[in-house]
Structure 1
Amino acid sequence: MKSERPEIIEFYLHEGHGIFYAMNPDLPGWITGSKKALDTIRLCNGNRTPEQILDELEKNYLLPRDVLAKEMEILFENLEKNGFIKGIGVSPPEYERSLDTLYLHLTRDCTLRCRYCYIEGGEILKNELTTVEIKDVLDQAMALNKTRLLVAVTGGEPMIHPDFWEIAEYIKSKGCPMTLATNGTLVTAENAPKLKEYFYNIQVSLDGPRDVHDSKRGKGSYDMAIEAMRRLTSAGAHVMISAVVSKHNLDSIYHVVDVAVELGIEHIKTGIFLPFGKGAEEKALALTESEFGEFWHKMQKSMQEKLSKGQNVQVANDINKVSFLQPIYYSKHSCGAAIGALSVDADGSVYPCQSAHLPEFLAGNVREMPLEKIWRDSEVFRIWCEATIDDIKECEPCDWRRYCGGGCRMQVYAFTGRLDKPVMFCSFLKDFFPKSVDAYLEYLVKQRADRDTEKEEK
C-alpha cells in the first residue's frame, strides 16, 4: 500500500443487487465489490492508517484479521490502479496514433437509389480511382498501420465494381481482415460462399418491413435484401443487419429483430439518419431526442423478448460502446476518426470517417499527395485529432464524459454545425448509463449465482 493514510477521491457510486459500482470520472477507472469493500472505501478519509482501518473492520465483521487484511490488500491494489486514492497519480492512457481501419469506397455506382444516401451513391463518378490506384491506396494505408489493418469495403454498391473480386483478392493477399457493406442486390447463391471466404463480416441494409424499406430504397429491394441474407447465412457467412433509423421507420424498426431471429442473424447495427448527401433533402426524417429514446426502448424490449426465448440478438450502436457488459474504456474522443481510421472516397478524396464526406472535411486526395502526408500533415485531421471531450464545456460537470466522449461528432455536426458540442441525445444517455450500470450489477450477481450452482452440481 503506497499511502500511509489513504484518502479516496470523489467518485460516482451506484449500489444495487447487493453489490456496488464505483467509477473514477477522470480515468478508465472503475471497480465493483461487496458491501464490505464499500465500507472499507468509506473508512479511507485520510485520517486512518491501514491498521486503523483493519481495526474498524474487525469490529464490524466477524472475520479473522489476516483474512480482512488480504481482502483489503487486493482492494487497495485495485483502488490505486484505477486512480481512486488521492496523491497516487495515475495518468490517462495515451493512444499511439495508428491507422487501424480503412473505409474503402470502391465506387459511387449503385444498383439502388436510396433517398437518404449520405454518400450520394447511384451514379459512377467520372474520375474514380482505377483498380491499380485502389491497390496502391491499400499499400499506403498498410504502411500507416502498426498492428493489422481492417479494410471496410463499401460504396455505392461495392459489388458492382467490375474488378470487385480482384480487389478483394488483393486485400486478402495482404492479410487484411475485410468487412463488406452491401444492399444485397448482387448476392447470388453462387457467390455467397465466396463472399463468406473473403469477408469476416457482411452488413446488409434493412430498414424495416417491405413497404417501409422499399419506399426509401426502391421497389423490390426488401425481397432482394432478405434473399441475400438467406443465401449468405446458408453459406455460413457472418451477417449483420444494418438499419438506418428515422421518423420514417420509428414505428416498425423492431421488424429487423424479427428478421434477424428468423434468419439466425445475431447482430444488428443501427445508425440514426443524418441529413447529409441525398439526406439533405429529407431533413424532416431526423429524430428528436424523445424519439431516439422511444426507438431505443422499443429495440431493447424487442431484444429482451427474444433473449427470454433463448433467441440471441444483439444491437450495436453508439450507446452500446459503453455497455457495461464489456470493459469501459477511457475516451477523450468519441471514436477513432482521424486517429485510428480514415475514409477514401471513390475519387481518391480522403476524409476523417465514412460519415464525414463533406467539402469542409476534405483532408486531401491520394492522386495529389501520398496518404502518409495527408495522415500526418492535413489540417482537417489535426483539428479532428485535437478536438476532445475537454473542449466541450457542457460536458465538464458530467461524470460520464470520459465514457461517452461527447457522442458521434458527425451526429453533433449534423444538428449544430459544430464539433465542440455534446450529442443531441445527451439527456437520454445520462439516464441510460446508470440503468446500464444496474444491469451490469444484476449480470454479475447472476453470473456468481450460476457459478455457485455449477459448483453444487459437481
Structure 2
Amino acid sequence: MKSERPEIIEFYLHEGHGIFYAMNPDLPGWITGSKKALDTIRLCNGNRTPEQILDELEKNYLLPRDVLAKEMEILFENLEKNGFIKGIGVSPPEYERSLDTLYLHLTRDCTLRCRYCYIEGGEILKNELTTVEIKDVLDQAMALNKTRLLVAVTGGEPMIHPDFWEIAEYIKSKGCPMTLATNGTLVTAENAPKLKEYFYNIQVSLDGPRDVHDSMRGKGSYDMAIEAMRRLTSAGAHVMISAVVSKHNLDSIYHVVDVAVELGIEHIKTGIFLPFGKGAEEKALALTESEFGEFWHKMQKSMQEKLSKGQNVQVANDINKVSFLQPIYYSKHSCGAAIGALSVDADGSVYPCQSAHLPEFLAGNVREMPLEKIWRDSEVFRIWCEATIDDIKECEPCDWRRYCGGGCRMQVYAFTGRLDKPVMFCSFLKDFFPKSVDAYLEYLVKQRADRDTEKEEK
C-alpha cells in the first residue's frame, strides 16, 4: 500500500442488490464490491493507518485477520489503480491520435430518394473521385494509421458504383477490415455470399413496418430491404439493422426488433434524425427529449421481452456507453471524429465524421492537398480535436461527464448551432445511467449465483 494513512476522494456511489458500484468521475475508474469492501473504503478518512483499518474490520467481521488483510490488499490495489486514493497520482489516459476509421463515400448516386438523407444522395456528382483516386485515398489513409485501418464503405448506395467490387477487392488486399452501409436494393442471392466474404459487418437500413419505411425511402424499399437481409443472413453474413428514429416512426420503431428476431439478427443500430442535407426540409421530424425517452423505453421493453424468451437482440447507440452489457470507459470526447476517424465524400471533400458533411466543417479536399496535411494541419480538425467535455460548462458538475463525453457533437450542433453544449437528451441520460448501473449490479449478482449453482451441482 502506497499511502500511510489512505484517504478516499469524493466519488459517485450506487448501492443495490447487496453490492455497490463506485465511480471516479475524473478517470476511467470504477469498482464494484461487497458491503465489507464499502465499509473498508469508508474507514479510509486520512486519519487511520492500514493496521488501524484492519483493527476496525476485525471488530465488525468475524474473520481471521490474515483473511481480512488479504482482501484489503486486493481492494487497495484496485482503489489505487482507479485513482480513488488521494495523493496517488493516476492520470487520465492520453490517446495517441491515429486514423483508425475511414468513412469512404464511393458515390452520391443511389437507388432510392430518402426524404431525410443527410448526404443528399440520389444523383451522381459531376466531379466524383475516380477509382484510381479512391484507391489512392485508401493508401494515404493507411499511412496515418498506427494499427489497422477500418474502412466503412458507404454512399449514396455504394453498391451502385461501377467499380464497387474492384474497390472492395483493393481494400481487402491491403488487409483492412470493411463494413458496408447499404439500402439492400442491390443485394442478390448471387452476390450475398461474396458480400459476406468481403465485409465483416453489413448495415441494412430499416425504419419500421412497410408503410412507415416506404413513406420515407420509397415504395417497395421495405420488401427489398427485408429480402436483402434474408439473403445475407442465409449466406452467413453478420447483418446489423440501421434505423433512423424520428417522429414519423416513433410509434412503430419497435417493429425492427421483431424483424431482427425473425431473421436471426442480433444487432440494431439506431440514430436520431438530424435535419441536415435533405433533412433540412423535414425539421418537423426531429424528436423532443421526452419523445427520445419514449423511444428508448419502448425499445428497451421490446428487447427485454425478446431476451426473456432467449432471443438475443442488442441496440447500439450513444446511450449504451454506460450499460451492463458494455464496459464503461473514459472519454474527453464523445466520439473519435477528427481524432481517430474522418470521412471522405465522393468528390474528395474531407470532414471530421460522416454526419458532419457541412460547408463549415469542410477540412480540405484530397485533390488539392495530401490527406496527411489535412489530417495534421486543418483548422477544422484542430477545433474538433481541442473541443472536449472540459469546454462544456453545463457538464462540469455531472458525475457522468467523462463517460458520456457530452454526447454526439453533431446532434448538439443540429439543435444549438454550437459544439460546446451538452446533448439535448442530457436529463434523460442522467436518469438512464444510474438505472444501467443498477442493471449491471443485478447482472453481476445473477452471474455469481449461477456460478455458485454450478459448483453445487458438481
What is the TM-score with the length of structure 1 in the denominator?
A: 1.00
Deviations 1:11-69 (A, max 9, x none): 00000000000000000000000000000000000000000000000000000000000
Structure 1 segment 51-450 matched on structure 2, within 5 A: 51-450=51-450
In 2, the alpha carbon distance for the partners of 1:200 and 1:325 equals: 21
Deviation for aligned residue 1:265: 0.4
Query: Could you list the per-position Cα deviations for residues 236-287 of structure 1 after superposition, in whole angstroms to 9, with x for gaps in the alignment?
Result: 0000000000000000000000000000000000000000000000000000
How far off is 1:326 after superposition?
2.3
- What is the deviation of 1:343? 0.1
* 1:321 CA drift (Å): 2.2
Specify the SS of the correspondent of 2:212. Answer: helix
* Paired residue secondary structure (1:118): coil
Separation in structure 1 between the aligned mates of residue 355 and residue 242 of structure 2, nearest angstrom: 15
SS in 2 for 1:153: strand
Report the CA distance between 1:167 and its aligned residue: 0.1
- TM-aligned CA deviation for residue 439 of structure 1: 0.2
Deviations 1:121-150 (A, max 9, x none): 000000000000000000000000000000
Q: Distance in 1 between matches of 2:171 and 2:241?
A: 24
CA contact (8 A) 2:394 2:422 kept: yes
Cα deviation per residue 1:197-248 (whole Å; 9 max; x = unaligned)?
Answer: 0000000000000000000100000000000000000000000000000000
Q: In 1, Cα distance between the equivalents of 2:271 and 2:27?
A: 28
Specify the SS of the correspondent of 1:47.
coil
User: How much has 1:328 moved relative to structure 2?
Assistant: 1.3
Q: Number of aligned pairs?
A: 458
Q: Provide the secondary structure at the position in 2 that maps to 1:407.
A: coil
Q: Distance in 2 between matches of 1:325 and 1:123?
A: 41
Verify the 8 A CA contact 2:320 2:326 in the aligned structure 1.
Answer: no
Q: SS of the residue aligned with 2:186? A: coil
Offset, 1:457:
1.2
Q: In structure 2, how many angstroms separate the alpha carbons of the residues matched to 1:194 and 1:393?
A: 50
**How many angstroms does 1:394 deviate by?**
0.2
Instruction: Name the % identity.
Output: 100
Measured on the aligned residues, the alpha-carbon RMSD in Å equals: 0.4
Bigger mean CA offset, 325-334 vs 307-316: 325-334
CA drift at 1:324: 3.1
Query: Normalization by structure 2: what TM-score?
Result: 1.00
1:323 shift after superposition? 1.7
1:325, CA displacement in angstroms? 2.8
Distance 2:442 2:48 in 1: 33
The 3-state SS of whatever aligns with 1:375 is helix
Superimposed CA distance per residue, residues 337-384 of structure 1 (whole angstroms, 9 cap, x where no aligned partner):
000000000000000000000000000000000000000000000000
Structure 2 contact 106–154 (Cα < 8 Å) conserved: yes
Q: By how many angstroms is 1:329 displaced?
A: 1.1
Hey, what's the Cα distance between the residues in 1 that align with 2:54 and 2:367? 68
Unaligned runs of 5+ in 2: none
The 8 Å contact of residues 324 and 443 in structure 2, kept in 1 or not, is answered as no
Shift of 1:322: 2.2
Q: Tell me, in whole angstroms, the C-alpha distance in 2 between the residues paired with 1:136 and 1:450.
A: 53
CA distance in 2, matches of 1:351, 1:453: 53
Deviations 1:150-203 (A, max 9, x none): 000000000000000000000000000000000000000000000000000000
Aligned residues of 2:322 and 2:437 also touching (Cα < 8 A) = no
CA–CA separation in structure 2 for the residues paired with 1:328 and 1:259: 29
**Residues in 2 aligned to 1:372 and 1:452: alpha-carbon distance in whole angstroms:** 55
